[in-house]
Amino acid sequence: MKHIMGIDQYGQTYHNLGKYPRKELLRRVGYKNARKMYRDKKDTSSVHCGYVIGRMWIELYTVEPFERNI
């Protein structure tokens, strides 16, 4: 299972967003609408990277458990 977290432009973090991060972010911040946020890549393509909710820009990240063989 993927663990998704968000970070807004002020550094506030939103952990454990679950399977539907948009829905969970809206619930946590108390809004009903969100717009997709995009980022341009070096190859000139664009990718969906988060949401604009109210005045917040929340970028999403996939968190992977740390494991190291001993």
Among the residues of the chain, which ranges form H helices?
Answer: 21-29
Tell which residue, 58, 66, 67, has the closest CA to residue 17.
58
Q: What is the pLDDT of residues 16-62, one digit of tens each?
A: 999 999 999 999 999 999 999 999 999 999 999 999 999 999 999 99
pTM, two decimals, is: 0.86
Among the residues of 14-68, which ranges form H helices?
Answer: 21-29
Does the pLDDT value for residue 70 go beyond 90?
no
CB 62 within 8 A of CB 6: no
